[in-house]
Structure 1
Amino acid sequence: MKALADLLRDWMPVQRWFGSKGREWADVTEDGFFLDRSDPVLSVHRVRVTYADGGADTYLVPISWRDSEVEELASAYIGVVIGDEGRASHAYDGMRDRDATTPWLIHLVNASTVGPMHFHPAGVAYIPEGLPGDIVSTEQSNTSLVYGSEAIFKLFRRLEPGLNPDVEVHDALRRSENPHIAPLLGHIEIDDPDPANEPATVAMLQTFVPNASDGWRLATASVRDLYAEGDLHADEVGGDFAADSERLGAATALVHRDMAAVLPTEPADSGWYADVARQMNERLDAAVQIVPQLAEHVDGLRQVYAAVAGSTEPLVRQRVHGDLHLGQVLRTATGWIVLDFEGEPARPLASRRELDSPLRDVAGMLRSFDYAARHMLVEQPDDSQRAYRAQEWAERNRAAFCAGYSEASGLDPCGDSPLLRAFEADKAVYECVYEARNRPHWLMIPLDSLSRLTGRD
């Protein structure tokens, strides 16, 4: 339907989940089917965007259809399509139209097949069939709905052939009864137009974790408490976060342990170390073109990466989280829950399913502690006292996380490992690119960290 494709060309680039903002579109096509024909009608569309640079992406767009405009849904409005008989149909984002969110769970309970879409309940717990879903407004690359206090539904907007790691890992960890994950309740797949390709994962349903606190918010509240107490050290402030950091380290270690037990593992060899260093150098080359300020760190970073290329450190590769940070964990009354095992969404799905080192996840969390400590320095970059206190907070919580990990696993993840240092540096380079593009005033945070990681401090 060309009229709908034209509407989506205007609407999609401004959506938070659209991952190629700024790229010039060459063409857009869509194919769709009806998921529910009640009121409102719900259709699901695969939208293929080709770019002027030759690349292409396929996105999933559920659309609810109304006979007239609905004022309270104005922010979800896509546009109007005039049918052959002159009848107007008003299109809305089906994930933000609450009345259109019930069919997903109905079909999941019934293990339905609707057109090319297949619903797979996990068969382990109650699914709240019949409830409407409330949108989670903070997400970016995906879209989630919370159904009551029982389940959370995540729609993967960008489609790629193959099982999404978030579903694969949660399904595997369900067998281990790991207490630090939210159990998988089911998932949805859609057949690829090319029968040679695997189906793509459309969505997953998990147990909702009520009354939980986001790790980032807890950590940054602790930092604010520290800054408010001008003459106290990090361990003397009422909002000290170190005990939580230690428990988080232990939870991370137990998740890594169970992932290694239920998913493939493989010893690292010299070729893998060489590949890791090569990829880091390639990312650095690309990043310097975007962030000129990185130039002064290049020589030091090359040395950090070279230490990895020649490493003989004994290591067993396994499946890892791939994008672990304080925003991916929740604290409950009984402990920490780790979320979102899909890895970095911008990376190809196949690369996110590759075996890696658990140190990549450790490095991601260590970087997150640095960010939590230093994000308020952006407002007062020349405040040396606040900078000292930020460093003290970061060091205390990084050490606590490592201690918890070591206690639970018997392995010290934060010893003198060239690989850990390189993973941290590589992550900071990525952060530089992100901040330069999205929050230039935050660029000082990863740049300052690179001075420490490359020995310039």
Structure 2
Amino acid sequence: MSEAVTRTATTSPGLLASLAPLLREWLPRQRWFAGKGRPVTGFSLVAATELLPAGGTLGLYHLLVRAHQPSTLGAPAHPGDCYQLLIGAREALPPRLAPALIGHVAQGPLAGRTVYEALYDPRPADVLLEALRSQARIGGLRFERDRGQEIRSGLVPRVMTAEQSNSSVVYGDTFILKLLRRVVPGTNPDLELPLALAREGCARVPAPTAWLRAELSGEEYVLGVLQPFLQGASDGWELALRELAKGEDFVAEARALGRATAEVHTALARALPTVTVGHAQLRPLVDGMVERLDAAAQAVPALRPYAPGLYTAFAALADLAAEGRTWTAQRIHGDLHLGQCLRSPSGGTSHASSGGGAWSLIDFEGEPAKPLAERRMPQPAVRDIAGMLRSFDYAEHSASPPVPGWADACRAAYCTGYAEAGAPDPRTDPVLLRAYETDKAVYEVLYEARHRPDWLPVPLSAVRRLAAPDLS
């Protein structure tokens, strides 16, 4: 077993200043850039680490850079989001790396060189995997691993192009390295929860093999996680749409996915503390739901006719709490939908289902736009369930033509599977489920109105149902 490799890393003064004019143009074009619609006014360097010396054929820099932007109208001043960048430097780019181009440096320590997004280049990707394998410490970067899992060298890397808020590299169909792009100090649930589930022996979530952290000024940043790659697995969203296109139902898959979700929730409740939510604890949750509905109704006129009915969903939950009802809150996934689930091919698994494969849950980061402390708070498990039920609805409406009743059948099967795994059937607490589904649908209305107006009828159809429920 290799020992940890420790070395210092230095970077030339003026590195960021020389890159800034190029980053100002390149960064806002990246899909994972969170500040779209506002200009970048400047940068400040949080940390810079030289992974390969600039004097060679290939220079490689790991940067944590804060991008400064003007605050939106009425919003408090913001220090700027911190982004993780992996910058390669060459004399000239070979044609295969043309899509990764950032620009040509005119001044400073890299003057005359071409810089680019290094994840597209196999050599820098190899550097990251070898650092994880050898548990390297380079400057403030800490490459750490589970010593019980082998990391073979020589695995051919390829960058995945379908990522949104982060970036991933697959190594030889054996591992996948997810690099977080917008990073904040603190314990990131995308590493914390899979590690906790691995300790519980929960096979529904790939156990972290290695991870990358930074220790800066007494604060810890989680920067990336290496996990086993589920070769041949299908994304739940794409799988559902394929079945819809063929006119097939999704009931067996939805039921198996419900069981998988319950197994993860049960393991998380064992691994990490749970809390009892009563009237005092529920009041802020309900207030938040009401505030989000207020804001959405003000911004989206189409929502206003349904607002009175939607408020009753939150009032009914508050009334139950006032009568003494309590609930259990625990750590949850936090952003669960079909796209956060992978179904592996059948064969060689103890979780094979009537749906023909095994379901796994991935991406425990939660909603990236929310503060880290909020993402790590215990919450009722039904919040995850509401997200998945809404996802079935979106899938049905994505089919052309739509298949009436498809989502209802999936929703029922998912809840049945959840209960079959020994967890409470969410349908036995209709008031709680309705409140969380309503909150999710209200969020969707606001999102679609701002970003995808053509999709607005999807959450509005749910809003009509939730505003006048049949709870008999």
TM-score, normalised by the number of residues in structure 2: 0.88
How far did residue 410 of structure 1 move? 4.5
Amino acid at match of 2:92: S
- Write out aligned runs for 1:150-165 (5 A): 150-165=174-189
Task: Report the counterpart of residue 199 of structure 1 in structure 2.
Answer: 220
Task: Report the counterpart of residue 421 of structure 2 in structure 1.
Answer: 408
How far did residue 7 of structure 1 move? 1.1
How far did residue 374 of structure 1 move? 1.0
* Conserved 8 A contact 2:20-2:42: no
* Conserved 8 A contact 2:18-2:108: no
Over 3 Å counting, the alpha-carbon distance change for 1:23 and 1:285 in structure 2 is farther
Name the stretch that deviates more: 285-294 or 97-106.
Answer: 285-294
Task: Report the counterpart of residue 456 of structure 2 in structure 1.
Answer: 443
1:131 aligned to 128, 151, 155, which one? 155
How far did residue 223 of structure 1 move? 1.8
Name the stretch that deviates more: 77-86 or 63-72.
Answer: 77-86
How far did residue 70 of structure 1 move? 2.5
1:326 lines up with 2:343 in the alignment: no
* Conserved 8 A contact 1:5-1:29: no
- Write out aligned runs for 1:37-116 (5 A): 37=53, 39-53=57-71, 54-55=77-78, 56-84=80-108, 87-116=111-140
Equivalents in 2 of 1:423, 1:85: separation in Å?
Answer: 53
Q: For residues 121-162 of structure 1, what are the alpha-carbon distances to aligned partners after superposition, in whole Å with 9 as ceiling and x for unaligned? A: 122211233434211111100000100111000000011011
Amino acid at match of 1:128: R
SS in 2 for 1:11: helix
Amino acid at match of 1:92: Y
Task: Report the counterpart of residue 382 of structure 2 in structure 1.
Answer: 359
SS in 2 for 1:58: strand
How far did residue 84 of structure 1 move? 4.9
* Conserved 8 A contact 2:82-2:183: yes
Task: Report the counterpart of residue 215 of structure 1 in structure 2.
Answer: 236
Amino acid at match of 2:140: P
Equivalents in 2 of 1:413, 1:85: separation in Å?
Answer: 60
Task: Report the counterpart of residue 285 of structure 2 in structure 1.
Answer: 276
Over 3 Å counting, the alpha-carbon distance change for 1:39 and 1:255 in structure 2 is farther
Equivalents in 2 of 1:191, 1:410: separation in Å?
Answer: 39
Equivalents in 1 of 2:109, 2:361: separation in Å?
Answer: 52
* Conserved 8 A contact 1:242-1:396: yes
SS in 1 for 2:320: coil
Equivalents in 1 of 2:249, 2:180: separation in Å?
Answer: 36
How far did residue 243 of structure 1 move? 0.8
How far did residue 445 of structure 1 move? 0.3
Equivalents in 2 of 1:216, 1:108: separation in Å?
Answer: 31
Amino acid at match of 1:202: L
SS in 2 for 1:101: helix
SS in 2 for 1:426: helix
Task: Report the counterpart of residue 35 of structure 1 in structure 2.
Answer: 51
TM-score, normalised by the number of residues in structure 1: 0.90
Amino acid at match of 2:271: V
Amino acid at match of 2:118: G
How far did residue 69 of structure 1 move? 2.8
How far did residue 451 of structure 1 move? 0.5
How far did residue 40 of structure 1 move? 2.3
Task: Report the counterpart of residue 349 of structure 2 in structure 1.
Answer: none
- Write out aligned runs for 1:285-296 (5 A): 285-296=294-305
* Conserved 8 A contact 1:128-1:147: no
Equivalents in 1 of 2:233, 2:294: separation in Å?
Answer: 41
1:7 aligned to 10, 22, 27, which one? 22
2:168 aligned to 136, 144, 153, which one? 144
CA RMSD after TM alignment? 1.8
SS in 1 for 2:120: coil
- Number of positions where the alignment pairs a residue of Structure 1 with one of Structure 2: 432
* Conserved 8 A contact 2:307-2:467: no
Task: Report the counterpart of residue 235 of structure 1 in structure 2.
Answer: none
SS in 1 for 2:428: coil
Equivalents in 2 of 1:50, 1:100: separation in Å?
Answer: 28
Q: For residues 179-203 of structure 1, what are the alpha-carbon distances to aligned partners after superposition, in whole Å with 9 as ceiling and x for unaligned? A: 21111101111123x43xx211000
Amino acid at match of 1:398: R
What runs of 5+ residues in structure 1 fail to find an aligned partner? Answer: 227-238, 378-385
Task: Report the counterpart of residue 242 of structure 1 in structure 2.
Answer: 251
Equivalents in 1 of 2:231, 2:129: separation in Å?
Answer: 19
What runs of 5+ residues in structure 2 fail to find an aligned partner? Answer: 1-15, 72-76, 347-351, 353-357
How far did residue 87 of structure 1 move? 4.4
How far did residue 23 of structure 1 move? 2.3
Task: Report the counterpart of residue 202 of structure 2 in structure 1.
Answer: 178
Amino acid at match of 1:405: Y
How far did residue 276 of structure 1 move? 0.9
How far did residue 361 of structure 1 move? 0.6
